[in-house]
A and B are shown apart, each in its own frame.
Chain A
Amino acid sequence: MDVAVDTLNRAFAYSTPLLWAGLGAVYSERAGVVNLGVEGTMILGSLTAFAVAHRTGSLFLAVTAAALTGALVALVHAFISVTLRANQYVAGLAMTSFGLGLSGMLGRAYEGIALARPMQGITVPVLSSLPLVGPSLFRGQAILTHLGLLVAVALWVLLYKTRWGIAVRSVGESPATADAAGIRVARIRYASVIAGGALASIGGAYLSVAYRPSWTEGMTAGMGWIAVAIAIFASWNPLKAVGASLFFGALYYLSFRLQAYVAPELLKLLPYLAVILVLAFSARGRRRLFLGAPEALGEPYYRGAR
């Protein structure tokens, strides 16, 4: 039982940045725009949050600043992808390179500093007595973890139970159809990409102010790429993304815990192989209908592109 609680506890912690970034990827890709710049966005968020937390002592300001940074970066990506109709994959890669490089440069000044008041884990009164979930989720987790789960639910509601959600998903499936129905495709894409960037950035903020309160260059260590993988693995469904993030989080923890039995690297590479399998599995037929990517994902849209 201890192992289970431990694993779950660490899984929730490690999954938090993955979930935030993964939700960001889901939102953006549901509208049809691939954003491979998640890694760069995340790390810029980490740096921003750390710098603001260090300077002002306010975690709230730190996280907000990170969100704004992420939104700004995503705005650039949206401009390049939607208005300039560029190759979204390459643009995202470029943004990641730039983000990693820029953060490394500007973050030099912050290396080795400890945050005076990092985000602490909290214990939720009633819920922490629940079996299994109690000690793992409601004891010792930073509030960003709980918020992340709430955002996942909120995003699910938004996408599947509101008029806005129908518009977003239609834009991602068939922008021509949405356009003909009077939807402003560009506007929706911009909004979704920007929101996605903000979410990813908050995931990065968690890393530097809560999980490992410090700044190191490259501290996201590829989490942004796992977030892209999570979106695929979760079939672009926010609720499934929770499960996927937990799964990958648990895998990461287990790769340490089970070092004596299994080489940790082999566990760590499982998520990436899993994504390829999922993609191959859901490529055709009914499975594609239920699990596949938004049909127009990655394709620039302009009227007359029918």
Chain B
Amino acid sequence: MITSNAVKGRKGSIEPPSGKPALQQLHTETPLLEARGITKRFPGVVANDGIDFTLYRGEVHALLGENGAGKTTLMNILYGLYQPDQGQLFIEGKPVRLSSPRQAIDLGIGLVPQHSHLVRRHTVVENLALGLRTTSFFLPARRLGEEIRALADRYGFDVDPEARVELLSAGEKQRVEILKALMRDAKILILDEPTAALTLQETLSLFTAIERMRADGRGVIFITHKLKEVMAIADRVTVLRKGRVVAHVLRQEATAEKLAEWMVGARPIPLKPKVRETPGAFPAGEPPAAEVRPGVPLLEVEDVDVVDDRGRKTLSGLSFTLRRGEILGVAGVAGNGQRELIEVVTGLRRPSRGRIRLGGEAITRRNRSRLFDGAIAHIPEERTRTGVVAGMSVAENLILRAYRRSPFATGPLLNTRAAYRHAEEAIAAYRISAPGPGARVGLLSGGNIQKVILARELSGNPSLIVAAHPTHGLDIAAARLTHELLLEQRAKGAGILLVSEDLDELLELSDRLLVLCAGKITGSLDAREADLPLLGLMMAGGSGT
């Protein structure tokens, strides 16, 4: 139910101590878009939990939250890619069921995606003409070209209709996406992390366009995690956390600090990691001590740049040191350079500038494989796609790293019996739920696949462990096990680089924290001193770089 304790045009914010904030009515007119009680469940997680959301004509409504907060799911529901398990959608007061993006487009909803979805080889005109029923059959490009220029002018864009999309910058591509939506008469525009890849100039130009949209009476849903932008452009802000709406304010009532706090939540800072609780489950080794002092430098990253094939810097001037016996957590919203950081540290990509030293030895092309083979463990982000070979057996997956060495290989031959035995041990030790060492890995559950990966990576006593989102999508027991294993390795003197979007996990495990935003380190602090609002700010690019 919408509580109408509002008088037209005047409002104050509402923040009940617990539960959902109530929606207020800014205008007495029917909202362009309304979502009531949207709930969406996936196996193991409730992505959206009873979300209410409205959008009015001529309004910019920011949707704020970290990854995993539910923004993307909500967006996909609003765009017709998913159907909600519960809840209703209304467009201009009429209930609708969006069963496909095509339908959403027809109803006037336009999505400007984070990564542009255009035909790269074609020109701007050809992309805009695709599927546009109103163009003529012959020479659609000619008339459309003029229409495009006119529209672009109105919105303050500079667009060359004949340019090939492949050669455009990210900002220019985004403008094409915006034009695409506008040309299909989108009354409701959803912008998904629009400034992620933009320069400052382009961002300003985008904001100008958004102003025009507002003036045109369109409604804009602005999905972001960047607080500065929210403060600059939004009329209203809705903050999501863990699938729920935790705050809903007018922009005037919000400050960056409050927003950051809502985003990450005000939680008590946890104590230092505890001693392992379940004894005897793992291969023989000393139980980890409660406190471990970090030792000698293990991984030294100096002034590293990574440039993608478009020439954009995805990492710039990165410098940090990871010591033995230390867990270094890397916080930040996905897409800010984490993937490149992992690639560069695990040897899958070479930095365009800077140096990386492992154990004091600079990594060059020649010694790369020797160094990485055995000394570095990599728990990859994409578990099933990269970390295992789904079509091969558990035993074979377990030797994916070590198959070149004894005991798994003698010369060019594989020692399958040794591999089998090793698999039996690992299955027992890590309690992997699998029919046997010969079972196809593709049949295992996500948690068990992770156990296989852990068993493989951690069994070689690696010095450096790079763990990327290690508990993503795992149930509680598997997540717990993962954490305990990492702590155990730390106690053995390994250095762990932990990249995660789960702040709880980072705070619980890390000794020190780095915050990565837009390819740069925006914060480096002791975990004990981690101030959550401060972290949130750093992640959102808020505190000065």
Binding site for B on A (CB under 8 A): 161-164, 166-167, 169-170, 173-174, 176-178, 180-183, 289, 292, 295
Q: How far is the CA of A92 from the CA of B182 in the complex (A)?
A: 43
Contacts A182-B102, A289-B166 given; indicate if A163 touches B119 (C-beta within 8 A).
no
Q: How far is the CA of A169 from the CA of B126 in the complex (A)?
A: 10
Q: How far is the CA of A95 from the CA of B126 in the complex (A)?
A: 34
The 3 residue pairs across chains A and B that have the minimum distance between CB atoms:
A181-B131, A182-B131, A173-B119
The answer to whether A162 and B138 have CB atoms under 8 Å apart is yes
The answer to whether A173 and B117 have CB atoms under 8 Å apart is no
Please pick, from A161, A170, A178, the residue contacting B139 in the complex, using a CB distance under 8 A: A161
Q: Apart from A162-B137, A166-B130, what 19 extra A-B contacts exist at CB < 8 Å?
A: A161-B138, A161-B139, A163-B140, A166-B126, A166-B129, A170-B122, A170-B126, A173-B119, A174-B119, A174-B120, A177-B119, A178-B119, A180-B102, A180-B117, A182-B105, A183-B130, A183-B131, A292-B121, A295-B120
Q: Which residues of B contact A164 (CB under 8 A)?
A: 137
Please pick, from B120, B131, B141, the residue contacting A173 in the complex, using a CB distance under 8 A: B120
Q: Which residues of A contact B131 (CB under 8 A)?
A: 167, 178, 181-183
Cβ of B118 under 8 Å from chain A: yes
Q: Which of A162, A163, A177, A295 has the most CB of B within 10 A?
A: A163
The answer to whether B140 and A166 have CB atoms under 8 Å apart is yes
Q: Which residue of A lies closest to B142 (CB)?
A: A161
Please pick, from A163, A176, A181, A289, the residue contacting B121 in the complex, using a CB distance under 8 A: A289
Chain A interface main SS type: helix
Please pick, from B102, B105, B120, B136, the residue contacting A163 in the complex, using a CB distance under 8 A: B136
The answer to whether A181 and B130 have CB atoms under 8 Å apart is yes
Q: How far is the CA of A173 from the CA of B121 in the complex (A)?
A: 8
Q: Which residue of B lies closest to A303 (CB)?
A: B100
Q: Which residues of B contact A289 (CB under 8 A)?
A: 120-121, 164, 166-167
Q: Which residues of A contact B543 (CB under 8 A)?
A: none
Closest approach, in angstroms, between the C-beta of B437 and any C-beta of chain A? 32
Cβ of B21 under 8 Å from chain A: no
Q: Which residues of A contact B120 (CB under 8 A)?
A: 173-174, 289, 295
Q: Which residues of A contact B136 (CB under 8 A)?
A: 163
| Number of A-B contacts defined by CB within 8 Å | 60
Q: Which residues of A contact B347 (CB under 8 A)?
A: none
Q: Which residues of B contact A181 (CB under 8 A)?
A: 130-131
Q: Which residues of A contact B129 (CB under 8 A)?
A: 163, 166
Q: Which residue of A lies closest to B113 (CB)?
A: A180
Q: How far is the CA of A49 from the CA of B17 in the complex (A)?
A: 84
Binding site for A on B (CB under 8 A): 101-102, 105, 117-122, 126, 129-131, 135-141, 164, 166-167
The answer to whether B101 and A180 have CB atoms under 8 Å apart is yes
The answer to whether A177 and B130 have CB atoms under 8 Å apart is yes
Closest approach, in angstroms, between the C-beta of B404 and any C-beta of chain A? 31
The answer to whether B135 and A163 have CB atoms under 8 Å apart is yes
Q: Which residue of A lies closest to B106 (CB)?
A: A182
Q: Which residue of B lies closest to A169 (CB)?
A: B122
Closest approach, in angstroms, between the C-beta of B2 and any C-beta of chain A? 33
Q: Which residue of A lies closest to B138 (CB)?
A: A162
Closest approach, in angstroms, between the C-beta of A93 and any C-beta of chain B? 25
Q: Which residues of A contact B126 (CB under 8 A)?
A: 166, 169-170
Q: How far is the CA of A244 from the CA of B257 in the complex (A)?
A: 66
Closest approach, in angstroms, between the C-beta of A162 and any C-beta of chain B? 6
Q: Which residue of A lies closest to B167 (CB)?
A: A289
Q: How far is the CA of A167 from the CA of B137 in the complex (A)?
A: 11
Closest approach, in angstroms, between the C-beta of A177 and any C-beta of chain B? 5
Q: Which residues of A contact B167 (CB under 8 A)?
A: 289
Q: Which of A166, A169, A170, A173 has the most CB of B within 10 A?
A: A166
Q: How far is the CA of A295 from the CA of B165 in the complex (A)?
A: 14
Q: How far is the CA of A169 from the CA of B127 in the complex (A)?
A: 11
Q: How far is the CA of A181 from the CA of B139 in the complex (A)?
A: 19
Q: How far is the CA of A161 from the CA of B125 in the complex (A)?
A: 12
The answer to whether B130 and A178 have CB atoms under 8 Å apart is yes
The answer to whether A162 and B130 have CB atoms under 8 Å apart is no
The answer to whether B117 and A177 have CB atoms under 8 Å apart is yes
Q: How far is the CA of A43 from the CA of B431 in the complex (A)?
A: 62
Q: Which residue of A lies closest to B131 (CB)?
A: A181
Q: How far is the CA of A161 from the CA of B118 in the complex (A)?
A: 19
Q: Which residues of B contact A177 (CB under 8 A)?
A: 117-119, 130
Q: Which residue of A lies closest to B136 (CB)?
A: A163
Q: How far is the CA of A174 from the CA of B102 in the complex (A)?
A: 17
Q: Which residue of A lies closest to B118 (CB)?
A: A177
Q: How far is the CA of A174 from the CA of B130 in the complex (A)?
A: 12
Q: Which residues of A contact B119 (CB under 8 A)?
A: 169-170, 173-174, 177-178
Closest approach, in angstroms, between the C-beta of B127 and any C-beta of chain A? 8
Could you show 27 A-B contacts with beta carbons less than 8 Å apart?
A161-B141, A162-B137, A162-B138, A163-B135, A163-B136, A163-B140, A164-B137, A166-B129, A167-B131, A169-B119, A169-B126, A173-B119, A174-B118, A174-B120, A177-B117, A177-B118, A177-B119, A177-B130, A178-B119, A180-B102, A181-B131, A182-B131, A289-B164, A289-B167, A292-B121, A295-B120, A295-B121
Closest approach, in angstroms, between the C-beta of A203 and any C-beta of chain B? 27
Closest approach, in angstroms, between the C-beta of B479 and any C-beta of chain A? 28
Q: How far is the CA of A162 from the CA of B130 in the complex (A)?
A: 11
Q: Which residue of A lies closest to B103 (CB)?
A: A182
Q: How far is the CA of A167 from the CA of B164 in the complex (A)?
A: 16
Q: Which residues of B contact A174 (CB under 8 A)?
A: 118-120
Q: How far is the CA of A173 from the CA of B139 in the complex (A)?
A: 20
Closest approach, in angstroms, between the C-beta of A287 and any C-beta of chain B? 12
